[in-house]
Chains A and B, each alone.
Chain A
């Protein structure tokens, strides 16, 4: 039986200028899920709700089978979090960071932590504030890996990282899920990172859930349609999402089944970026 490591059901949160509405998705054990969408789509809000940093207005969130509010203390023993920057005091050394944090964990593995530091070329004596972006991310990973975390949540971990560091991160994530017993939720607006490695995708736009399911299904669900300006019939433009018209052509996203009816037009499999862009531009969202 597939165990679900993360389950959101009809989660809702309102702010004065933004509402996250009816978000439901599931991440099974052993896989990587990308949480994607443009900035302001609601990704960070969703993660804050999962961590109970914000109180949800409505809905259920279950992490590793435990309620995110009622069993918060228990479930946080087994999750690791990587933020886009260190959530530590700059003046702490790495060794002091360990001393400050490790008492909170029942299963802290000091030796594993030291091994990870060595592997990442981090010295325990370095002050946390002096670490580069890439090293900060590695420190957060080292901490996450040192206490039996079964679910790893990353919130925009790669912004500001060079391509090599991003590649190293993806490799570590794939290593992390290798035993089939761990899952990763990776929130990012840099989708090229996820394109090949993510098993599942949940896409948000303007606080709404646009898609959740396997990466493969997402890419098969849509096509990018292109053609000459005069080929854009009013009927066709009704189906196109994020329509872009210029003097020399038009393009947009269209449901793959609908695309079948319009043979003779260019109809490509989209990249994740294209899906996000056209959907964020909006219009004709099914």
Chain B
């Protein structure tokens, strides 16, 4: 896992952490059940306050991306969890939506679009 904070970002620090962890989970960079750094280790590494990392992790937990196991720490939720799946499906939806818009601009028909999708699915299955 990596977190890179920017002072000039509009987002407060805890939001930056949340976003970066979220995207790394969604991209698969952070594997399911992978252990995250402890609150205090993260605070120390990023040179920020413990309350800040606590807020970021708590909000990620509420949103279903990570879970805390008492005495052990914070772990990435396994992707079977409903909440995470919901997020991932939303991600698919929005990507597909973008694809549809692009296909209209390219003057593709619906049939062409679906054929392209089928082709890509076959390729990724190999």
Q: Do chains A and B touch in the complex (CB under 8 A)?
A: yes
Chain B residues, Cβ within 8 Å of A49: none
Name A177's contact: one of B40, B47, B48, B52 (CB within 8 Å): B40
Chain B residues, Cβ within 8 Å of A216: 51-52, 55
Report the minimum CB–CB distance from A201 to chain B (whole Å). 10
18 A-B contact pairs sorted by A residue (CB < 8 Å): A30-B50, A31-B50, A32-B49, A170-B47, A174-B40, A174-B43, A174-B44, A175-B44, A177-B40, A177-B50, A179-B40, A180-B40, A196-B47, A197-B47, A197-B48, A199-B51, A214-B51, A215-B51
- The 5 A-B residue pairs whose C-beta atoms are closest, nearest first, are A199-B51, A174-B44, A199-B49, A178-B40, A196-B48
Besides A32-B49, A177-B40, 19 new A-B residue pairs in contact (Cβ under 8 A), listed by A number = A31-B50, A32-B50, A170-B47, A174-B40, A174-B43, A174-B47, A179-B40, A180-B40, A196-B13, A196-B47, A196-B48, A196-B49, A197-B48, A198-B49, A199-B50, A199-B51, A214-B51, A216-B51, A216-B55
Expressed in whole angstroms, the Cα–Cα distance for A231 and B87 within the complex equals: 46
Report the minimum CB–CB distance from A195 to chain B (whole Å). 9
Report the minimum CB–CB distance from B56 to chain A (whole Å). 12
Expressed in whole angstroms, the Cα–Cα distance for A175 and B47 within the complex equals: 11
Interface string of B41-78 (1 = CB under 8 A from A): 10110011111100100000000000000000000000
Expressed in whole angstroms, the Cα–Cα distance for A32 and B50 within the complex equals: 9
Expressed in whole angstroms, the Cα–Cα distance for A196 and B48 within the complex equals: 5
Expressed in whole angstroms, the Cα–Cα distance for A179 and B43 within the complex equals: 12
Chain A residues, Cβ within 8 Å of B48: 196-197
Chain B residues, Cβ within 8 Å of A196: 13, 47-49
Chain A residues, Cβ within 8 Å of B49: 32, 196-199, 215
A31 near B51 with CB under 8 A, answer: yes
Expressed in whole angstroms, the Cα–Cα distance for A275 and B29 within the complex equals: 40
Chain B residues, Cβ within 8 Å of A215: 49, 51
Interface string of B20-56 (1 = CB under 8 A from A): 0000000000000000000011011001111110010
Expressed in whole angstroms, the Cα–Cα distance for A211 and B43 within the complex equals: 24
Chain A residues, Cβ within 8 Å of B52: 216
Chain A residues, Cβ within 8 Å of B47: 170-171, 174, 196-197
Expressed in whole angstroms, the Cα–Cα distance for A32 and B51 within the complex equals: 10
- Name which residue of chain B comes closest to A194, CB basis: B49
Expressed in whole angstroms, the Cα–Cα distance for A199 and B44 within the complex equals: 12
Chain A residues, Cβ within 8 Å of B13: 196
Chain A residues, Cβ within 8 Å of B41: 178
Chain A residues, Cβ within 8 Å of B44: 171, 174-175, 178
- Name which residue of chain A comes closest to B50, CB basis: A199
Expressed in whole angstroms, the Cα–Cα distance for A180 and B50 within the complex equals: 10
Report the minimum CB–CB distance from A194 to chain B (whole Å). 9
Report the minimum CB–CB distance from A15 to chain B (whole Å). 34
Chain B residues, Cβ within 8 Å of A180: 40
Chain B residues, Cβ within 8 Å of A30: 50
Expressed in whole angstroms, the Cα–Cα distance for A200 and B49 within the complex equals: 9
Report the minimum CB–CB distance from A52 to chain B (whole Å). 29
- Name which residue of chain A comes closest to B5, CB basis: A196
Chain A residues, Cβ within 8 Å of B51: 31, 199-200, 214-216
Report the minimum CB–CB distance from B68 to chain A (whole Å). 14
Report the minimum CB–CB distance from B95 to chain A (whole Å). 34
- Name which residue of chain B comes closest to A197, CB basis: B49
Expressed in whole angstroms, the Cα–Cα distance for A216 and B13 within the complex equals: 11
- Name which residue of chain A comes closest to B52, CB basis: A216
Chain A residues, Cβ within 8 Å of B40: 174, 177-180
